[in-house]
Amino acid sequence: MNWTYRQPVAIRFGNGALTSLYDEITALGGRRGLLVTSPSFVKRGLAERVRDMSHGLIGHVYGAVSPNPDVTECDECTEMLRRHGCDFVVAMGGGSVMDCAKAAAAFCTADAPAAAYLGDGKPIPDAHLPLIAIPTTAGTGSEITSVAVLSDHARGIKAPLSADSMYPAVAIVDPELTYTVPPYVTACTGFDVLCHAIEAYWSRRHQPVCDALAVQAAGLVFEYLAAACENPSDHTAREKMAEASVTAGLAFAQPKTTSAHACSYPLTNMLGIPHGEACALTIDRLVRLNSSRGDIRTARLAGRLGFTDAGALADAIADLRERVGLRSDLRDLAITDTQFEALVEGSKHPNLLNNPVEVTDDDLRMMYAAMR
Ligand code: NAD
């Protein structure tokens, strides 16, 4: 088996790590920075605190990133980077903020709008501004990946873009920043971590370094996610979920995600289900599907996590999903036949081909029919 492992992002992890921001900016040689964040961090004053910590090196704030960021938000951010002649970017927020900022840091070096890269397939520029990523959820792992997921709501598209130019230079992972995440968002983002780990392990592009990271991350989620949801001030649970998030990010960065993520895109796009909850909806069903088709890596992962077989792993996932209060079906949404067909079609995202066994249209139909 031939494989490569590459991870260009420097990671600073730990409670209080945010205080290293100024040192990290100066190490990059940054002089005029833009802070990209979400409205809630502007309102809570954290954006201002971070600006202060930069001792004047962060001159401006783009504070309007919404969940599932639209290409137009990325364009606004790009425009600010150009207008202010910025030479570095700091992204502080969940995956939505980090993805928007990562894309803008690359797109600002060329002329095209973000929509041209999404769907139209224009190559992402090689040039980019250096970016410091500061995650505030324990979920996406975006702080260490080359992926940015953008939406073009006008065209009904949500899709990942990937290029080396979108790797952050540095990730500052400070678990204290996740203390304010409400239980429902903790549950959604925690399931995103679990799906990254499971999908990285069974991905067709799996490799041994990422396998080890995936097992470590999935184990932490089973041990600590419920505690982080049930007691948001359980600092150990928060720290361990932050560790799980960055570790799962490292696990899937190269093998990439597979079926649960492919299915999540139309579930979010069409039905508005948050990303992690959308992934959580199908992952136990996909564990059963893969193992019923004889995928030995699904069974091996179950064993490495201490379960007797893949069925027991799927049961544990469903139990955890219920315990943390995430939906297990689509019944309350009364989806129409047209929406049902669109869900099947939309799930045939390229990531589906990375699943260890073929997932056919009939498989998708059966899976979604069982949720209706
Ligand atoms: P998010 O960034 O959309 O944030 C969810 C909500 O939580 C928002 O309202 C946000 O303001 C709030 N929030 C964030 N941090 C908070 C905090 N500390 N306290 C209180 N509230 C807080 O959610 P997410 O799950 O982190 O990111 C989801 C996005 O990331 C999706 O678009 C998904 O497709 C994408 N994603 C990207 C990658 C990648 O590799 N780039 C991987 C997985 C998912």
Cα(295) to centroid(ligand 1), Å: 31
Give the rounded percent of residues in the chain with a pLDDT score beyond 70. Answer: 100
Q: Give, for ligand 1, the residue of 36, 50, 99, 256 to mutate: max count of ligand atoms closer than 8 Å to Cβ.
A: 99
Which of the four pLDDT bands, split at 50, 70 and 90, describes residue 156? Answer: confident
Say which range, 88-97, 110-119, 230-239, has the weakest mean pLDDT: 110-119
Q: Give, for ligand 1, the residue of 97, 137, 143, 145 to mutate: max count of ligand atoms closer than 8 Å to Cβ.
A: 137
Nearest CA to ligand 1 atom 20: 181
Residues 295-340: tens digit of each pLDDT: 999 999 999 999 999 999 999 999 999 999 999 999 999 999 999 9
Residue 88, strand partner residues: 33
Output 295-301 pairs: Cβ under 8 A, ≥24 positions apart: 295/202, 295/356, 295/357, 297/201, 297/202, 297/206, 297/356, 298/202, 298/356, 301/198, 301/201, 301/202, 301/214, 301/215, 301/218
Cα(81) to centroid(ligand 1), Å: 22
How far apart CA 322 and CA 281 sit, in angstroms, is 11
Residues 144-153: tens digit of each pLDDT: 999 999 999 9
E strands, the chain, in order: 10-13, 33-36, 58-62, 88-93, 131-135, 147-152, 157-162, 170-173
Nearest CA to ligand 1 atom 21: 181
Burial of 348 (0-12, 13-18, 19+ CB in 10 A): middle
Residue pair 225/204 in contact (Cβ under 8 Å)? The answer is no
Residues 176-231: tens digit of each pLDDT: 999 999 999 999 999 999 999 999 999 999 999 999 999 999 999 999 999 999 99
SS3 content of the chain, % helix, strand, coil (to 5): 55, 10, 30
Residues 262-284: tens digit of each pLDDT: 999 999 989 999 999 999 999 99
How far apart CA 62 and CA 72 sit, in angstroms, is 13
Residue 94 is predicted with a pLDDT of 97
Query: Strands 170-173 and 10-13, how do they pair?
Result: parallel
E strands, 163-220, in order: 170-173
Cα(68) to centroid(ligand 1), Å: 8
Cα(164) to centroid(ligand 1), Å: 21
Would you state the torsion angle of the CA atoms of residues 85, 90, 94, 98, taken in this order, to the nearest 10 degrees?
Answer: 50
Tokens for 150, please give them.
Answer: 């953008």
Residue 11, strand partner residues: 171
**In degrees, to the nearest 5, what angle opens at C-alpha 144 toward C-alphas 178 and 66?**
55
| 72, 149, 179, 313, 363 from 69: Cα distances, Å | 8, 8, 23, 33, 30
Distance of CA 166 to the CA centre of its chain: 14
Nearest CA to ligand 1 atom 3: 67
Cα(225) to centroid(ligand 1), Å: 16
Nearest CA to ligand 1 atom 10: 94
Q: Give, for ligand 1, the residue of 18, 102, 149, 257 to mutate: max count of ligand atoms closer than 8 Å to Cβ.
A: 149
Nearest atom of ligand 1 to the alpha carbon of 268: 34
Tokens for 86, please give them.
Answer: 């910025």
Residue 162 is predicted with a pLDDT of 93
Query: Strands 88-93 and 33-36, how do they pair?
Result: parallel
Nearest atom of ligand 1 to the alpha carbon of 179: 18
Residues 3-34: tens digit of each pLDDT: 999 999 999 999 999 999 999 999 999 999 99
Pocket of ligand 1 (CB under 6 A): 38, 40, 67-68, 93-97, 99, 136-137, 139-142, 145, 147-149, 177-178, 180-181, 185, 189, 192, 275-276
